[in-house]
Each structure stands twice: as C-alpha cells, then as structure tokens.
Amino acid sequence: MTIAPTATPAKPRRRRRRNLTLTIGIVVTAAFMAMALASFFYLPHNPNVPRIPDRLLPAGSPGYLLGTDALGRDIFSQLMVGARTSLTVGAGGALISLVIGTIAGLSAAAFGRVADETISRGADIMLSIPGMVTALVLAATIGSGALTTILALSAFFTPSFTRVIRSAALSVMQEDFITAARLYDRPTWFILLRHVLPNVAGVMIVQFTLYFAAGILTEAGLSYLGVGVTRPSISWGMMLNEAQQQVGISSPLAMWPGLAIVIVVLGLNLLGDGLRDVLDPKLARRA
Amino acid sequence: MPVYIARKLAFFLLAVLVASIAIFLLIRGAGGNVAAVILGKDATAEAINALAQQYGLDRPLFVQYFDWIGNLLQGDLGRSFRTNEPVTDLVVSRLSISIPLCVSGLILGLVIAIPAGTYSALNSDKPLGAVIALLSQVGIAVPVFWAGILLSLLFGVRLGWLPTGGWTNWDVSLWGAVRSLVLPVISLGLILGASLTRYVRSAVLDVMNQDYVRTARATGMTRMQALLQVGLRNAALPIATVVGLQIAELIGGTVIIETVFSLPGLSRMILANVAAREVIVVQSTVMLIIIFVMFINLIVDLLYGVLDPRVRLAR
C-alpha cells in the first residue's frame, strides 16, 4: 500500500535527474573532443621538446598553465595531445568492436541455431580471456603502439558487443513486423538491414559510448605499463608513468592526467547512461 | 545435474582448446620468425637457424603446437630462451604474491559491493542511496593505477603508515608481506567494488520488481524479509555471472597494480618477458592465466546450477 503514493511524485524527479545526467555527459564529452581537436591546430608548447631550465615549474607559472614536467615539457600541451590519443584509440577500439560485433550479433540472431551456438560460445570463450593479457601478448609480438592498442581493445570488446546486439536483435526478431516481412518473402539480409538494424541502433549507440570510456581506461592502463602508445604520441597513462618514475608520486604531476582520465571517462559513462534512458527505456529501468 | 555438469565441463575443455590455439597462432603468427625476434635485428642467419633448431622452432607449426600443449598438460611449461630457467619455476615463485593480491582484492570488492549495492537499491530515493550510486559511478571512472598512486601518496608519503611500494617476502617477515599488500589490495578492491556495486544494485532493483517479491510482500513480509528470504537468492544468479566475468578484469587490474607498487608478482614477470621477447615464457604463462580464469567461470556456472534448479534441469 505504500508503493502507490511514492511512485507518482518520483517520476518527474527521476526524469529531471536523467536530463541532468545526459547534459553533464554531453558537455564533458564535447569539451574533451574540442580539446583533442584543438590540439591539431594549436598547442601552447611543443609537448615533446624538453626545456631543462623550465623543469618542474608549478601550475600557474607564466606561460605554463599547469606547469612543466621533469624535462621542462608543458603539462597542458601534453594533456591536449593525450586527449587526442584517448579519443582516437578509445573510439577506434569501440568502433571496430561495434562493426564486428554488430555483424556477428545479427548473424547469431538470424541464421539459425548452429550459427547462434558457434558465435555465442565463441564470444563466451573470448570474454574469459583477460584483455590486458591479450594486449601484452600483442605488444610482445607485433610491438607496442597506438595501432596495437586499438587491435587489443577490439579483441577485448567485440564479444560484449556481440552478446548485447545479439540479444537485442533476438527480441526484435520476435516482433510481428518481422513475421510480416518474412511473409513478403524478404531475404534475411534485407530484413536485418531494413528492420532489425534500426531497432537495435539505440543499443548500439549506448554500447559504443560506454566502451569508448572503457577503451580510454584500458589504453591509459596499457600506456602506464609502457606497452600502449609511445612517444612522440602522448597518453595520459604514459604521463602518469613518467611522473611516477621521474619525480616520484608525491609530485602534482601525477594529479593532472589522472583527473583528466576520471573526468572524461565519467562524462562518457554519464552520456551513455543518459542516452540509454532516452533511447532504450526497457534497459534503463534495470541500470 | 550430471548432464548439466558434463555440458559445462565439455565447454570448459573446448574453451581451453580454442584459446590455446588462438594464443599460439597469435604469438607465432603475428610474431613471425620467433628465433629472429629473440636474437634481435643484428643476428646472423646462422645464429637464427641454430637457435630455431635447438628449440625445434623450425618444425611445422602444428607439430610445435602439439608439442607445447602436450608438455603443458604434463606440467612442463617450457624454458626461457635466455636463462634456460623452466617457466614453471618462474611462475610458481611469483604466485605467492599474485594469488593473495588477486583473491583479497576480489573479497574486498565483494565485501564493499554487496551491502552497498543492496542498500542503494532499497533506498534509491534517500540521500545515502543516491550518494552510493554516485560514488560507484565515479569509482568506475577512476583508473586502478591512479587509485593506487593516490592511496600510496596519502598513506605512504603523507601519513607514513604503509610502504609506498616494494615487497618483503613471506618467509622474511609475515607482517612485512602483509603490510606491502595492504595498499595494493585496497586499490584493487575499491575499484572492483565500485563496478560490482553497480551490478549488485541493478540485480537487487530488478529482483525487487518481480512478481514473487510482490507476492511475498502480500503475505505480510517486510521489504527486508522479502529481500532476505526470496530476493537475494534470485539476485545471486546475475551477481555470480558478473563476478565470473570480472575475474578477467581483476587480472588486468592486478597486472597494473603490481607495477604501481613494484610488487614482483606474476604480471611483472610477464611484462619483463614481453620486453625481452621471451615468446615461450609469455605464451605459457598467459595460457595458464586463461585456464585459471576459465576454470573460475566453470565454477561459477556449476554454482549457478546449484543455486537455480531451472538452470540444471533445463534441456
């Protein structure tokens, strides 16, 4: 009996919270992308050129907004180029996973039990291989770098995309309009492209956003370990590693890249959650 | 139940087989000529051939694969090219660090996540429930190594309570070993706990909306009684699945946190061997980790069968 009165006033409040989530997500993500794009046109300093006289300047020093590192390189410029790396590697990994995962997920949903079992079990197997370890193996064999990191992320994320898109597609396949399309003798690929794909697009967008964030975290971890991107590219994870090795953890240098990662990943996750609420009300109830 | 166990066991074996082929091909296929990789750019063709012959790297790939997997099954993981040390020895000496770290991290994560997630699901409209949800959202965004750096900054540098890194072996000082593991375990557990809290929260929310909970409430149970007697048992299933999946993530976190705190664990050994291009060492150790993760997932699946009659009786 206590359920009914609380349910009604809660509704508008929840919607407002959703909009707030989405708004913060959009603002943070847009700022992050603007920073990454701006780095192609303007940098306060060259982030790879050491200036020993200016080493370890504190934040707010003239000419250096966030100070300099142990070799006198401008922190803010490095953060800007780091945003570029996070953007390309995170989005790249999520995009490849999205493409392969969509093809695999739709095939599993549409092409019968054998295809479904093969693809689903394959995804299960891949899910139980630790992504960090795959990345280490790739780094050992084909060498580290941005491209290796993107490949590792794709191998790591594709099975999740496959599973999520498969189950979304399966529930769409139950709908009457699919049966109608079948009765019209539409070929399966046509049904998938024309009817199923648009109906799972919401799930795809949400999944992409959340794994974009996960990709940024993983890339930072790999670069922190020294098996991700290498100079002249710059990664926030790499900056943390250098800060710890060159000046020890007590330096404020270890603050900025960490904060940047947290803010951007949080922003993308909020964006993903907000989008889920808008695009996919059924899923939103659970999260 | 026997059919269920047999199916899960068969899948486990298949998974290990597929993963071993994948890892083997990834390393051998992507790595090109292993002997050339090991010896570096300046090696002569003779030296490369000699090394290849010594380690049987000139044989057809499938022969090498069966050789490797056959030895692996007998507990022989191969030897390091450079030091000729058996990989088994390299691995075993590191496990006394990595396993306690990983397991305590997981336990801490669960100890945080189960009460926090349940509380915030049941009290989602109260301030504390919302704060927990917010903290978990922020925690998910914090990279595990940054958490480690911040913790060691606070407790190691500022307060000086715990070491900021390094390792005292168990046989040297039990207390010392525990002290060097405290911060790494907290970093792992907090970050894992943050993401698990989210899953626990949504599992409990989901369960509390089910008809059987409403029925239980209708019989006069309070929300707490309904949760404890009906809800948790049902929420345990999705939580168990997520924990199984998080094991893979946890291992990734362990790799990183060992580096943050310079603990000479398994993952640091792998990293050093990645840098040294010790292909066999990396290949065997990675395979061991994968088997371990798959084994945990097998246990989770079997547990699923125990917890839920619908699962073990299906088909």
Amino acid letter for position A233? S
Q: Does A239 touch chain B (CB under 8 A)?
A: no
B48 inside domain: no
A193 touches chain B (CB under 8 A): no
**Mean pLDDT to the nearest integer, A56-78:** 73
Instruction: Name the domain count of chain B.
Output: 1
Enter the pTM of the model: 0.84
* Residues in Cβ contact with B12 at an 8 Å cutoff, skipping those fewer than 6 apart: B294, B295, B297, B298
| Cβ atoms of residues B120 and B129 within 8 Å | yes
Amino acid at A168: A
In a domain, B226, yes or no: yes
The verdict on a CB contact (< 8 Å) between A269 and B256 is no
What is the domain extent for residue B113? 95-276
Q: How confident is the model at residue B228 (pLDDT cuts 50, 70, 90)?
A: confident
pLDDT digits (tens, 9 = 90+) for A231-281: 788 888 888 888 887 766 556 777 888 889 999 999 998 888 888 878 765
Confirm if A172 and A199 have CB atoms less than 8 A apart: yes
* Cβ-Cβ contacts under 8 Å, B138 against chain A: 262, 266
Give pLDDT tens digits for B64-77. 888 888 888 887 77
Residue at B159 is within a domain: yes
Report the candidate in A223, A86, A250, A265 with the shortest Cα–Cα distance to residue B155: A250
Where residue A42 falls (left for φ over 0; alpha for ψ -120 to 50; beta otherwise) is beta
- Residue in A6, A118, A136, A263 to test binding to B, most B beta-carbons within 10 Å: A136
Residue B104's pLDDT band (boundaries 50, 70, 90)? Answer: very high
Share of chain B above pLDDT 90, in %: 7
When mean pLDDT is compared over A10-14, A66-70, A85-89, B213-217, the highest value belongs to A85-89
- Examine residue A232 and say whether the peptide bond preceding it is cis (omega within 30 degrees of 0): yes
Give yes or no for a contact between A240 and A247, defined as CB atoms under 8 angstroms apart: no
Residue A171 phi, psi (nearest 5): -75, -30
The band of A226, judged by pLDDT with boundaries at 50, 70 and 90, is: confident
Question: How would residue A284 be classed by pLDDT, with cut points 50, 70 and 90?
Answer: very low
Cβ partners under 8 Å of residue A89, min gap 6 = A146, A149, A150, A153, A215, A216, A219, A228, A229, A235
Residue A286 confidence (pLDDT): 44
Residue A252, token pair as written in the block = 């404020």
Residue written as tokens 């992504």?
A131
B62: in domain: no
Q: What burial letters (b/e) apply to B171-208, b meaning 16+ CB within 10 Å? A: eeeeeebeebbbbbbbbbbbbbbbbbbbbbbbbbbbbb
Nearest chain B residue to A219 by CA distance is: B143
B249, B231 Cβ separation under 8 angstroms: no
Report the sign of the C-alpha dihedral through residues B224, B228, B233, B237, in that order: positive
Q: Residue A285's pLDDT is what?
A: 45
* Percentage of chain A modeled with pLDDT above 90: 12
**CA neighbours within 13 Å on the CB side: how many for A279?**
19
Q: Rounded CA gap, B111 and A156, in Å?
A: 27
Query: For position B153, what pLDDT does the model report?
Result: 81
Tokens 């599973």 identify what position? A163
> In chain B, what residues touch A265 (CB-CB under 8 Å)?
140-141, 143
Question: Measured between CA atoms, how close is A158 to chain B, in angstroms?
Answer: 14
* Whole-angstrom distance, CA of residue B2 vs CA of residue B73: 25
Q: Which residues contact A74 (CB under 8 A, 6 or more apart)?
A: A43, A44, A45, A47, A64, A65, A66, A68
- Rounded to the nearest angstrom, the minimum Cα separation between A126 and chain B is 8
Asked if the ipTM is above 0.90, the reply is no
Residue contact A249–B274, C-beta within 8 A: no
Say if B314 falls within a structural domain: no
B183 pLDDT higher than 60 = yes
Q: What is the structure's pLDDT at B33?
A: 66
Residue ranges in chain B assigned as alpha helix (H): 2-31, 34-39, 45-54, 61-73, 87-122, 127-141, 144-151, 174-208, 211-218, 223-226, 232-260, 266-275, 279-307, 309-313
Which tops the pLDDT comparison, B275 or B105? B105
Angstrom distance (rounded) from CA A250 to CA A241: 13
Q: Sign of the C-alpha dihedral, residues A250, A253, A255, A257?
A: negative
At B81, list the tokens: 């090219």
Q: Give pLDDT, residue A10.
A: 45
Contact list, B253 vs chain A (CB under 8 Å): 132
* CB-facing half-sphere around the CA of B3: CA atoms within 13 A: 5
Residue A95 predicted with pLDDT over 90: yes
CB atoms within 10 A of CB A203: 23
Q: Is the pLDDT of residue A7 over 60?
A: no
Q: What is the largest CA-CA distance in chain B?
A: 84
The verdict on residue B60 lying in a domain is no
- pLDDT score at A261: 92
* Within-domain flag for B137: yes
Provide DSSP, B10-43.
Answer: HHHHHHHHHHHHHHHHHHHHHH--HHHHHH-TT-
Instruction: Among A112-116, B122-126, B133-137, name the one with the lowest average pLDDT.
Output: B122-126
Q: Which pLDDT belongs to residue B90?
A: 81
pLDDT at A104: 92
| Per-residue model confidence as pLDDT tens digits over A135-167 | 877 776 777 788 888 988 898 899 999 988 998
A110: which strand partners? none
CA distance B85 to chain A (A): 19
Residue B68 is assigned to a structural domain of this protein = no
pLDDT at res. B41: 67
Q: Are B188 and B109 in contact (CB under 8 A)?
A: yes
In which band, very low, low, confident or very high, does the pLDDT at A17 lie, cut at 50, 70 and 90? low
A9 — pLDDT class (breaks 50, 70, 90) = very low
Mean pLDDT of chain B: 82
Supply the pLDDT for residue A2. 39
pLDDT digits (tens, 9 = 90+) for B258-297: 888 888 888 888 888 877 777 778 888 888 888 888 888 8
CB spacing of B157 vs A270 below 8 angstroms: no
Cβ–Cβ < 8 Å for A170, A106: no
* Res. B31 pLDDT band, cuts 50 70 90: low
| CATH, residue B127 | 1.10.3720.10
| CA end-to-end span of chain A | 25
Interface test with B, best of A28, A29, A32, A125 (most B CBs within 10 A): A125
Nearest Cα residue in chain B from A11? B125
Sign of the four-CA dihedral B279, B284, B287, B293: negative
